[in-house]
Amino acid sequence: MSLDKDQVQHIAMLARLRLTDEEITQTVDKLSRIVDFVDQLSAAPTANVVPMAHPLNQTQRLRADRVTEANVRDAVQKNAPAVSEGLYIVPKVLD
């Protein structure tokens, strides 16, 4: 499937691009080759291919999920002008 000049002009308009007639001619050729290549890729047999997230069989190293700092919320909230049940009270911004 190749693109024509009108299709490329429409794509350029959607992308908010101003292309000269020479640029449109070059773009028609380039985009047509890209679309043809994608068509070739679609013809590849992929029925028995298992989807994968990474080409190598690796797992991500994660740190241990454990608490490393003490809860100092009460000490920090002593500096706040208004606190209720561990939450900061702030003035209403929106009605």
Q: Which residue has the tokens 């797992």?
A: 59
The C-alpha atoms of residue 6 and residue 21 are separated, in whole angstroms, by 11
Residues 6+ apart with CB under 8 A from 3: 28, 31, 32, 35
In the predicted structure, residue 50 carries a pLDDT above the cut 90: no
Q: How many residues does the chain have?
A: 95
Sorted by where each starts, the structural domains of the chain and their CATH numbers stand as 5-42 (1.10.20)
Instruction: State residue 30's pLDDT score.
Output: 93
pTM for the complete prediction? 0.48
For the purposes of burial, counting CB atoms within 10 Å of the CB of 8, is it exposed (0-12), middle (13-18) or buried (19 or more)?
Answer: buried
Q: For all residues of the chain together, what is the average pLDDT?
A: 89
